[in-house]
Amino acid sequence: QVQTVESGGGVVQPGTSLRLSCAASGFSFSRCSMHWVRQAPGKGLEWVAVTGRDGRTQYYADSVKGRFSISRDNSQNTMYLQMDSLRTEDTAMYFCARELLGSGYLDFWGQGTLVSVSS
């Protein structure tokens, strides 16, 4: 059974850091590109970052470039999102999502972890 479980969210102050994790099971994690997508309260979906299958390639949305860093550990079937210099506008539910066979489409999503940035 395909499963991804996000963790690491919480309430933090602006300017601080947080590290999210996405633990995957039930599929060949190392064969899949993995994405982070976020959703601010009451808003739509915003793509955040992607890591290639071997972790050597990463791409970021302009809104997080230079502040967020995506990585993965295929030996642990886990993906990470290191979030630094957090801003109030980073407040959102953060979903990890599996990319369908290198297609660019996201065929499985976790339930998300909530990040709230507030002073």
Partner 1 sequence: EIVLTQSPATLSLSPGERATLSCRASQSVDTSLAWYQQKPGQAPRLLIYDASTRATDIPARFSGSGSGTDFTLTITGLEPEDFAVYYCQQRRNWPPWTFGQGTEVEI
Binding-site ranges for partner 1 (CB under 8 A): 35, 37, 44-47, 50, 59-62, 95, 100, 103-112
The edge-to-edge listing of strands for the beta sheet with 78-83 is 3-7, 18-25, 78-83, 68-73
Which CB, 16 or 43, lies closer to partner 1?
Answer: 43
Residue 112 contacts residue 93 (beta carbons within 8 Å): yes
- Shortest distance (Å) from residue 10 CB to partner 1: 19
Residue 94 contacts residue 81 (beta carbons within 8 Å): yes
Which CB, 14 or 104, lies closer to partner 1?
Answer: 104
Which CB, 11 or 100, lies closer to partner 1?
Answer: 100
Which CB, 29 or 95, lies closer to partner 1?
Answer: 95
- Tell the residue number behind the tokens 């039930």, with chain if given: 26
- Shortest distance (Å) from residue 119 CB to partner 1: 27
Pairing of strands 58-60, 68-73: unpaired
Residue 59 contacts residue 72 (beta carbons within 8 Å): no
- Shortest distance (Å) from residue 117 CB to partner 1: 21
- Shortest distance (Å) from residue 61 CB to partner 1: 5
Residue 34 contacts residue 94 (beta carbons within 8 Å): no
